[in-house]
């Protein structure tokens, strides 16, 4: 029997961003009426696949992609989302793209409204024809019924609950009779459990109607329950592609996070559990998209503590909250004394330093020279690098000293640049990150926050950055709290790893714990 | 040679090279249309000295990210008050000038502080708000000049003995006292205002030193990347306030220097359009909305004042008509538009 050509087939799809390979020879297919779950850690390549399928401009503006995409057996390549829509792809994004002041019905049939002729059409063309509201409402109701839910068609989007908004978006995509393949990017992330259940029921109802669905979620239980097949991505590679019936949640979790363990030896350092450097009780941090909701954590002196977890769960807020970048509330003791929150000056005075995850935004003065970037924080908060004139009445930046220190760091961290006077914006990502490290080291911190220190830099620089952090910890006994989305990275240098989920610590594991244990804590 | 030229163009920028060549061309044409070269050079130098400090008043606010100081009239009003008090006290010579500066400074600090409070509340649209603050402060002071209790006979209206005149001569008080320090005359038509240029140079040096101090560097960082500055424990609003006060104070000193060379205190609508030539000059010098250096100020003042002095006189002589005001307005506003649409390109 000849196999039927699947609805969608990806053939050796690959993608590079500025020489950084994010997808490599990805092959999978979606049949008609099939629900395929796509899982992977942050940065595994899920969004890139979505962007390629949907013809997002991010792809074409960075040089297109390798390999081929087949829809119904014929090759397609979309230059923009409109072409993708026309070809029958429907996409529901993580963020809602609805018009708040319009009703459900108006949103659902937006730009595909039923129209009626009036005389203005003769003068100005079709765009001025009347709307047939009754028919629009009818069509909207049909779409929502097909989903098996009930949204009154005249509800304003701004009055809807999050769940209703999500359903309205999906209804909009399926109302388009041409939609054959639905791409759902974490549709359940914002929903409550019961809403998520309703959503999954509706999706299950859609698939027998011949609609193919790609479902992205971090909640593995949903994947297991809903999907026919699961495709696991890791570092841009398809790790496995199996029917969900033949696998277990633990197995998926392990595929998702576990690389070949033992690539870097797990370090052993004796950390006395008695000297608590930082004692955090009930910490709330209001960082948009990364809220902490009552985190409790003890940090021991001299350790490297890893903070892991999925994006949006709050792991980044720990460093930003304690450094006073975002408003925070809670009880924190540092060195046995109460620690003031929301006060960056006191935090830096107390020996804290931050390597920010937002390197280009918070971490660097892109426009300025390298040596000034390194010296700035120490200059402002500790008054280093100043020359005094007229008995201290006039202070001036000690230019020679900043250049000298910058040269030291250029050598010790192997920063590739033309010299300490080069502007930071002209450096590559990895070298910019090294400047950030130098900036933190100059302050001689007791407690160093390294947030996503390897984000967006190439493999070689990654290893360098991690080695430097580890060396710094060993030489100066600096306590380091390192946040990373890459679990393997945390496992390679940390003494303990705390997994943050939904704004709280879900659990603390030793670095040599099994990959699936981490996976379970995360989801 | 080719490389050298390329580098020169790159570091100076096309705008400055074109304007520079245009200025050179004007100087070359001048003698052929019966415009005296030595007088022209003298005029340019005097005008550079007159306007220099006012242009310098743009620098602190640009560096702290508050944009161009369209509210320069606020500083100018402080300077005017200082000068008026000095004349009222019957002071003369250098004493008069320095008294005027000393009196205007606290006023400038006070006005600058309130100006800064508004600027800090409208982050993102500072320049538009500053324009209106400048305009409305001029309007407010139009009433002020009428009712302030000055009574010196050279300053008030003759028929009522109350209210200040629109133009007040400082010929008896402090005209040219700074310009004349170490100044010299060559022939009948060339006068070199040494003192005023030295004063401008010192002011530039002082600002330069300030921006190499801890506070100055913090101010620059606030302008370039506020979140970076904040994460290094710099108080953003404080730095912005300081920069506005600094700019306002420089504006006050600037107008006093301007008056001592010009010979008159201009009240009422006088300060209204003072901000625009200063802004055009600093932009012409190569400053952007985010960055301005002392070099930009000096080069910009020279080029702008050069063109604005030379173009009308040369063109008028060539065309036998008076176009000077039109050319001035086109040049200064054209420069501002040009600079506002400009973007810096980085190479990597």
Cβ atoms of residues A423 and A455 within 8 Å: no
Cα separation, A428 vs A477, whole angstroms: 30
Tokens linked to B191: 């006068």
Q: What global pTM score does this model have?
A: 0.73
A440 to chain B: closest CA residue = B232
What mean pLDDT value characterizes chain B? 88
Cβ atoms of residues A170 and A92 within 8 Å: yes
Contact A358 B348 (CB under 8 A): no
pLDDT in tens, A339-382: 888 888 888 888 899 998 888 888 888 888 899 999 998 888 88
Which of A177-181, A213-217, B243-247 is the most confident on average? B243-247
Contact A344 B209 (CB under 8 A): no
Report helix, strand or coil for A57.
Answer: helix
pLDDT of B257 > 90? The answer is: yes
Mean pLDDT for A89-101 is 80
pLDDT of A1 > 60? The answer is: no
Q: In chain B, what residues touch A365 (CB-CB under 8 Å)?
A: 221, 224-225, 228
pLDDT of A159 > 90? The answer is: no
Contact B348 A426 (CB under 8 A): yes
Matching fold, domains A1-88+178-193+207-260 and A262-351+446-523: yes
Assembly ipTM: 0.79
* Rg of chain A taking only CA atoms, in angstroms: 27
| A297 beta partners | A280
Q: In chain B, what residues touch A361 (CB-CB under 8 Å)?
A: 225, 227-228
Question: What residues of chain A, 417 to 436, have a C-beta less than 8 Å from chain B?
Answer: 423, 425-426
What mean pLDDT value characterizes chain A? 83
Given the candidates 1.20.1740, 3.10.660, 1.10.3470, 2.50.20, the CATH classification of the domain at B13-183+191-340 is 1.10.3470
Contact B214 A361 (CB under 8 A): no
Mean pLDDT for B194-200 is 93
Cβ atoms of residues A374 and A433 within 8 Å: no
Cα separation, B144 vs B165, whole angstroms: 12
The answer to whether domain A262-351+446-523 has CATH 3.10.20.600 is no
Question: B322 vs A192, A381, B310, B314, B318, CA distance in Å?
Answer: 77, 59, 13, 11, 10
pLDDT value for A90: 85
Q: Domain A1-88+178-193+207-260: give its CATH code.
A: 3.40.50.300
Cα separation, B317 vs A373, whole angstroms: 54
Contact A381 B233 (CB under 8 A): yes
Percent of chain A with pLDDT over 70: 93
- Sorting pLDDT into bands at 50, 70 and 90, what band is A4? low
pLDDT value for B183: 84
pLDDT value for A404: 92
Domain range summary for chain A, segments of one domain joined by +: 1-88+178-193+207-260, 96-177, 262-351+446-523, 359-444
Cβ atoms of residues B127 and B68 within 8 Å: yes
Cβ neighbours for B74, distance < 8 A, ≥ 6 positions apart: B111, B112, B115, B133, B134, B137, B248, B251
Q: A157 or B199, which is more confident?
A: B199
Residue A382: CB atoms within 10 Å: 15
Cβ neighbours for A318, distance < 8 A, ≥ 6 positions apart: A283, A285, A292, A295, A297, A307, A449, A481, A483, A500
pLDDT in tens, B142-165: 999 998 888 888 888 878 778 888
| A70 beta partners | A9, A75
pLDDT value for A196: 80
Number of residues that this document lists for chain A: 523
pLDDT value for A485: 81
pLDDT of B273 > 90? The answer is: no
N- to C-terminal Cα separation, chain B:
25
Of B83, B21, B27, B87, the closest CA to residue B253 belongs to: B83
* Residue in A345, A365, A372 nearest the CB of B233: A345
């Amino acid at each position: 029997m000849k196999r039927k050509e699947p609805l969608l087939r990806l053939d050796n799809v690959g993608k590079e961003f500025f020489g950084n390979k994010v997808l490599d020879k990805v092959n999978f297919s979606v049949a008609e009426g099939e629900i395929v779950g796509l899982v992977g850690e942050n940065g595994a390549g899920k969004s890139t696949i979505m962007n390629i399928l949907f013809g997002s401009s991010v792809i074409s503006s960075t040089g297109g992609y390798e390999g081929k995409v087949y829809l119904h057996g014929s090759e397609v390549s979309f230059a923009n989302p409109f072409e993708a829509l026309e070809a029958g792809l429907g996409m529901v994004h993580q963020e809602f793209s609805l018009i708040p002041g319009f009703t459900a019905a108006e949103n659902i049939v937006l730009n595909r409204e039923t129209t009626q002729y009036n005389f203005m059409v003769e003068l100005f063309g079709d765009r001025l024809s009347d709307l047939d509201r009754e028919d629009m409402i009818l069509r909207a109701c049909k779409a929502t019924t097909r989903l098996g839910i009930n949204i009154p068609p005249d509800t304003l989007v701004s009055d809807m609950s999050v769940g209703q908004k999500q359903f309205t978006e999906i209804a909009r995509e399926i109302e388009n009779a041409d939609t054959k393949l639905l791409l759902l990017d974490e549709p359940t992330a914002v929903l409550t459990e019961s809403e998520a259940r309703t959503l999954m029921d509706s999706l299950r109802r859609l698939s027998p109607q011949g609609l193919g669905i790609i479902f992205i979620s971090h909640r593995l239980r949903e994947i297991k329950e809903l999907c026919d097949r699961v495709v696991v991505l890791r570092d841009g590679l398809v790790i496995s592609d199996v029917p969900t019936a033949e696998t277990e949640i633990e197995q998926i979790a392990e595929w998702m996070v576990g690389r070949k363990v033992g690539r870097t030896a797990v370090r052993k350092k004796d950390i006395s559990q008695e000297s608590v450097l930082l004692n955090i009780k009930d910490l709330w941090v209001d960082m948009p998209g990364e809220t902490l909701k009552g985190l409790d954590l003890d940090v021991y002196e001299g350790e490297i503590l890893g903070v892991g977890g999925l994006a949006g769960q709050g792991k980044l807020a720990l460093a930003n909250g304690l450094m006073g970048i975002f408003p925070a509330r809670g009880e924190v003791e540092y060195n046995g004394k109460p620690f003031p929150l929301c006060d960056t000056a006191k935090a830096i005075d107390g020996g804290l330093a931050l390597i920010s995850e937002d390197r280009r935004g918070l971490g660097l003065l892109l426009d300025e020279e390298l040596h000034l970037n390194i010296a700035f924080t120490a200059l402002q908060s500790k008054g280093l690098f100043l020359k005094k004139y007229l008995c201290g009445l006039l202070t001036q930046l000690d230019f020679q000293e900043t250049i000298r220190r910058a040269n030291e760091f250029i050598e010790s961290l192997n920063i590739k640049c033309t010299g300490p006077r080069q502007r930071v914006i002209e450096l590559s990502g990895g070298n910019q990150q090294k400047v950030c490290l130098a900036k933190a080291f100059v302050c001689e911190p007791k407690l160093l926050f390294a947030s996503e220190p390897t984000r967006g830099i190439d493999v070689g620089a990654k290893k360098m950055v991690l080695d430097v952090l580890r060396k710094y910890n060993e030489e100066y006994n600096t306590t380091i709290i390192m946040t990373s989305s890459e679990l393997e990275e945390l496992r390679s240098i940390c003494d303990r790893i705390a997994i943050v989920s939904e704004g709280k610590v879900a659990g603390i594991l030793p670095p040599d714990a099994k990959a699936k244990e981490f996976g379970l804590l995360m989801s | 040679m080719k490389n050298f030229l390329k580098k020169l163009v790159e570091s100076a920028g096309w705008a400055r090279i074109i304007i520079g060549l245009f200025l050179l061309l004007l100087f070359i044409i001048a003698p052929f249309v019966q415009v005296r070269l030595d007088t022209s050079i003298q005029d340019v130098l005097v005008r550079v000295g007159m306007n220099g400090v006012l242009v310098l008043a743009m620098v602190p606010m640009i560096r702290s990210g508050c944009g161009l100081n369209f509210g320069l009239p606020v500083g100018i009003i402080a300077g005017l008050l200082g000068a008026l008090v000095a004349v009222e006290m019957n002071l003369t010579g250098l004493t008069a000038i320095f008294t005027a500066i000393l009196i205007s400074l606290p006023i400038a600090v006070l006005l600058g502080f309130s100006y800064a409070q508004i600027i800090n509340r409208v982050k993102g649209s500072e320049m538009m708000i500053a324009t209106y603050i400048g305009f409305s402060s001029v309007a407010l002071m139009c009433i002020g000049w009428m009712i302030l209790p000055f009574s010196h006979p050279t300053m008030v209206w003759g028929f009522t003995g109350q209210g200040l005149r629109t133009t007040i001569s400082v010929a008896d008080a402090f005209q040219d006292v700074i310009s004349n320090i170490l100044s010299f005359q060559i022939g009948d038509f060339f006068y070199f205002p040494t003192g005023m240029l030295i004063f401008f140079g010192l002011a530039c040096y002082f600002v330069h030193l300030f921006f190499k101090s801890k506070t100055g560097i913090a101010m620059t960082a606030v302008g370039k990347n506020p979140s970076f500055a904040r994460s290094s424990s710099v108080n953003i609003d404080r730095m912005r306030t300081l920069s506005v006060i600094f700019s306002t104070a420089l504006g006050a000193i600037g107008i006093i220097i301007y008056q001592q060379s010009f010979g008159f205190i201009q009240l009422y609508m006088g300060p209204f359009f003072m901000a625009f030539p200063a802004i055009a000059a600093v932009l012409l010098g190569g400053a952007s909305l985010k960055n301005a250096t002392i070099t930009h100020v000096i080069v910009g003042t020279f080029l702008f004042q050069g063109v604005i002095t030379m173009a009308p006189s040369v063109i008028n002589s060539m065309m036998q008509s008076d176009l000077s005001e039109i050319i001035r307005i086109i040049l200064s506003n054209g420069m501002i538009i040009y600079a506002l649409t400009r973007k810096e390109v980085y190479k990597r």
